Amino acid sequence: MAYTQADLATLRAAIGSGILKVRYADGREITYQSGADMLKAEQRVMDALASAPGSGRARRRAPGWRNGC
């Protein structure tokens, strides 16, 4: 399942308010058993977003020149 940043925000809002039922933007509705289950789901979503292609930061390297000394 592909997660989005909106899914993560929705889940975090539910965790913060203590609500165990979450309705995502695509219509999915999940009722979690406990807050611990919600925290596990949050970690799963964060891991999926971090491993998604293009999710990493673009890194630039400045060329290092030496003057030959």
Q: 2-61: per-residue pLDDT in tens?
A: 889 999 999 999 999 999 999 998 899 999 999 999 999 999 999 999 887 765 565 666
- State residue 34's pLDDT score: 96
DSSP string, the chain: ----HHHHHHHHHHHHHT--EEE-TTS-EEE-SSHHHHHHHHHHHHHHHHHSTT-SPP-----------
- State residue 53's pLDDT score: 76
Give the domain ranges of the chain: 5-51
- State residue 51's pLDDT score: 86
Q: Is the pLDDT of residue 68 over 80?
A: no
